[in-house]
Homo-oligomer: A and B are copies of this chain.
Amino acid sequence: MKRKAAIGIFDSGIGGLTVAREIAAQLPHETLVYLGDTARLPYGSKSAETIIKYAVRNVSFLAESSLKAIVVACNTVSSVALPAIREVVDVPVLGVIDPGARTAVGASPSGVIGVIGQPGTIKSGRYESAILRLNPSARIYSRATPLLVPLAEEGWVGTEVARLVLLHYVEPLADKGIDTLVLGCTHYPLFKADLARLFREELKAAISLVDSAECLAKDLKAMLQEEDLAATEGVPSHRFFATDSTETFVRVGASFWGQDFPTVLHVDL
């Protein structure tokens, strides 16, 4: 029964938990199988070839469970590895780029859009091409903002250091007149409050922040309902796996998922 099958989700680490949490909120009866490839993180600074190799390995592990869909909850993997992933599985594969691009285009009256992400995502140019497909006259300014991941994972959200780093990264984008900023990495939603304060109080700019998790969860829900695959009852029992020690994953994971963060099992890939 495909309807009882799980939704497979993977990320290089814990960032994808912001996506998993949003899916669990919008689809409360679906069972999630989550894999964080923490032994090999971060993907953001690695080459496309290496990322594809890891992504295929992760998906093959997830596919050992009975799945109805696979969510690539990582911008870097979504930018470079979706075609390779679709070759090895026969269920729908959803990435975070297209939903983020669609939300950004809808949120931007001026069509001047900023994108921040890890180096691999920015280098791929996938947000640019996805946005331009939807609005060919959009003007897009992108910037790699690599420090935001360690700052989020090490608990520096809301500090003076975070303010200075964010200012350094986004001021040049604000100067270009963007009205919308895509948070092109699953870690970045943790800085939503810092960014909102920075734009409002220091840069005096009215800028919409786009978090693709929300839109992706909506897409997934619509697709499952359309194909009559949605689970409509029961309490799901999620399964979480990490490729490195689960201790850090559980500690840091709580700040991404919430206090009821469940048991995480180790898997050697």
Contact = CB atoms under 8 A, between A and B. Distances in A.
Interface string A225-254: 000000000000000000111011000000
Interface residues of A, number: 25
Contact of A46 (B46, B161, B244): B244
Contacts of A39: 40, 46, 50
A154 B243 CA distance: 26
Interface stretch (A16-24, A80-88, A144-152): A144-152
Nearest to A119: B248
A45 interface: yes
Contacts of A161: 161, 164-165, 168
A151 B160 contact: no
Contact of A40 (B40, B49, B164, B168): B40
Give how many copies assemble into the complex.
2
A164 B154 contact: no
A156 B247 CA distance: 30
Interface string A134-177: 00000000000011011100101000110011001000000000
A47 interface: yes
Nearest to A168: B161
Nearest to A248: B45
Contact of A245 (B38, B40, B47, B168): B47
Nearest to A156: B147
Contacts of A38: 46
Interface in A42-58: 45-47, 49-50
Contacts of A160: 164
11 contacts: A39-B50, A40-B40, A47-B245, A50-B243, A50-B244, A146-B150, A147-B150, A147-B151, A147-B154, A150-B150, A161-B168
